[in-house]
Structure 1
Amino acid sequence: MTQRNPILVRTTWAACLLGSLALVAIASGAETDADPVEPVRVVPDAASAAQAFISLLDEDARGKTLYALADEERFDWHFVPRTRNGLPLRDMTGEQRSAAYDLLQSALSSQGYLKASAVIELERILGLLEGRPERRDPENYYVTIFGEPSTDEPWAWRFEGHHVSFNFASPSGQLTVTGPAFLGANPARVPSGPKAGWRPLGREEDLARALVLSFTADQREQATIAAEAPSDIVTGNDRRARLDAFEGLPADAMTEAQRAILYDIVHEYVGNTTTDFEWMMRIQTEIPASDIYFAWAGPTEPGAGHYYRIHAPVFLIEYDNTQNDANHVHSVWRDLENDFGGDALARHYEESDHH
């Protein structure tokens, strides 16, 4: 029997969600008394935002931005500082850049957009801390579009640079798929200057530590998969995320209060995009607590290198903070069925007569 998750009786994530949806509705000109589920279907807004962005590009910029949907470039994602294919912010006019931000906002929640903006701002801070501001470029973030943006035909797009990689696929006008969705932070805690103490990804760490510290000795022993944390997220930038086995402590072996924290962690990740309502409903009604595992590696003391993951048959969350004396975070959300559109895109082709 599927165990009811305690999130059924928790309303904080839903309240935050409805607030975000109201903002989206107002921004898009939608009626504020509409069914609150409808704004989650962001494809029309994303498609029109992408079309508006493309309309501002000259021939050279279009050549950098636009790829066929079937192009292998769509799967070449990464989170390290490198040259990418696409149109970087630094090569955009002010009007084009504004349209690029509109496109990003069409698919991210207000929380996700603020986090992405903060991670980009960290590039500037990191350059100052390193004494090499020319090496860290907050305008070295790229927009790449695959296929023709449409409300009823499949297409995809990506926003990516150092420590940010959001990959979106729209198999049809009724569904937007997000993944991989990566955010990193270096420094994880700004050590000095006007933003000293700033932690853009602090809740991802604090919630997980609160959970592991709430465990009994037996629970912590089962949850701990290694005494030392790995040097990075285990699945890296793999095209398809795979782990050999489910490890750690299953959610049905936790108390109700512990499961509540676990689902708060999950929502901290899925809450970055406008698909969070569907995901949290799916988790609370379809995924048994026995199928969701929490695993921890490394010490539990703040400031020590640590790693955790939340692994279920249909999703994976990884978080690692070991580099730069445990002041450098990598975190990722993977949809194990629909990264890059995955099964959803395949189903669209199978079910569409004209394909």
Structure 2
Amino acid sequence: MFKLSLLPLCTAGSRLLLASVMTALLSGCGSSSSDSSSSDTDDASDTVETTYTYSDCSSLTLQVELMACLAENFLSTLTDSEIDTVLNDLTENNATETWSNLPAPSIDYNGILIDNLSSDEAKTAAEALLSAALSADGNETMEGVRMADEYLSTFDGNVYGEDNYAIALLGSPSTTAAWMVEFTGHHYTFFSSFNAEPVSLTPNFVAIEPVSWTVDNQTYAPMAKHHDALVNLFDSLDSGQLVTALLEGEYDDVLVGPQDDGNYPEQQEGLSVSELTDQQKDLVIAVITAYAADANETGQLDDYISDEQLAETYVAYASYPDMVSQSAYARIDGPSIWIEFTVQGGVVFSDNHYHSIWRDKELDYGGNFDL
């Protein structure tokens, strides 16, 4: 597991990627093709038999080439049955209907659970692929959320756990054609999409329970950057701006969550960023960065914070602007970006917890479907 400034815990049971393991994987150390490297991939290519071999990815500098290489490395570690489960057609149904914020076994995720992979080699290759899809910030977010689920497993090990997350490939790994990596589970989901270049990391669902916890005198709060950025923004608004930013009604969860693709309001609501001071605009950018900086080389963040996009972006909240009280809700709504953050009642614990989502109105699922 990466040792990060925010999340320094490294537990014996964790399989999250160590920097040293990532280096070894990129160079192909300690791995080779086996009988499971050849498979009949009916899902993705009908009756065409494809052989996957483990390659040295360390010299690859283009993100799409690196991801395709790591994806094939992952496939080369799988049994025929696992390949059939992991490799799926790139269809709207396979993308939009197979993820959830409910933990397994409450839902039959697309792909295969990390915990159910048949070898340590496969698990390590999967983690390498997931890690490469994300920036350093993104790895920190993913690691923290999964650590929280591992913490929950000490209270209910049949439902929660850091490896109770599923990985799937939609479409065959390619440097020219569209495909994506889907990673989904209880409180974290991303779709890393490619079409000759990195396209998007969205939808990206990020949630946490508990919002913070302490182990061995070390406190962890993986979504502090998201929460604190929103608090700083709404604390900066004066009374008149808060009135303008207030939405009618109460929001008990995100509007555009799993299986609610395209469920955006017909009109933007709230306070226009164009009416904010330069300092307040920087606080909006900080919120956007807390989410979009998790993507690796998609260019989405730069697009969202351009002057043109910010001029047409709105901020809003419902119920409470403190992002602490139950039913507190926040929204960033731009021409392309959509962010929601909600404060939920507790499920495992009595304290509140967070649900949030980052969407791209044009590029969700790589922009492959008309949602």
Under TM normalisation by the shorter chain, which class is it?
0.7 to 0.9
For residue 66 of structure 2, the aligned residue among 45, 65, 81 is 45
Structure 1 stretches of 4+ moved >4 Å: 27-31
Q: 2:345 aligns with which of 293, 309, 323?
A: 323
In the TM superposition, residue 150 of structure 1 has moved relative to its aligned partner by: 0.8
Q: What are the residue-to-residue correspondences of 1:1-355 with 2, within 5 Å?
A: 29=58, 42-70=63-91, 72-76=93-97, 77-81=99-103, 82-92=107-117, 93-128=119-154, 131-171=155-195, 173-190=196-213, 193-194=215-216, 197-226=219-248, 229-237=250-258, 238-275=260-297, 278-285=299-306, 287-301=308-322, 303-305=324-326, 306-324=328-346, 327-342=352-367
3-state SS of 1:155 partner: strand
Q: Which residue of 1 aligns with 2:53?
A: none
Deviates more, 1:263-272 or 1:70-79: 70-79
- Unaligned runs of 5+ residues in structure 2 are 1-21, 27-56
The offset of 1:330, in angstroms, is 1.0
Moved more, 45-54 or 61-70: 61-70
- The whole-number CA distance in structure 1 between the counterparts of 2:217 and 2:291 is 24
SS of 1:281's partner is helix
Query: Any idea what the Cα deviations from partners look like across 1:216-271, whole Å, max 9, x if unmatched?
Result: 11001111114x75111112211334222211111111111010010011011101
What SS does structure 1 have at the residue aligned with 2:139? helix
Secondary structure class of the residue paired with 2:200: strand
The amino acid of 1:210's aligned partner reads N
Structure of greater relative contact order (alpha carbons < 8 Å, 6+ residues apart): 1
Contact 1:241–1:334 (CA under 8 A) maintained in structure 2 = no
In 2, distance between residues paired with 1:50 and 1:71? 21
- The CA deviation at 1:124 is 2.0
CA deviation map 1:274-301 (0-9, x unaligned): 136x233323446343310000112234
The unaligned stretches of length 5 or more in structure 1 are 1-22, 32-38, 347-355
The 2-side partners of 1:316 and 1:290 are apart by 15
The count of aligned residue pairs is 307
Q: What is the match of residue 3 of structure 2?
A: none
RMSD across aligned positions (CA)? 2.4
From the superposition, tell whether residues 127 and 268 of structure 1 become closer, same or farther in structure 2 (CA, over 3 Å). Answer: same
CA 1:247/1:113 → structure 2, altered by over 3 Å: closer, same or farther? same
Q: Distance in 1 between matches of 2:306 and 2:255?
A: 29
Q: How far apart in 1 are the matches of 2:358 and 2:217?
A: 27
**Contact between 2:304 and 2:336, CA under 8 Å: does it hold in 1?**
no
Alpha-carbon distance between aligned partners in 2 of 1:188 and 1:157, rounded to the nearest angstrom: 27
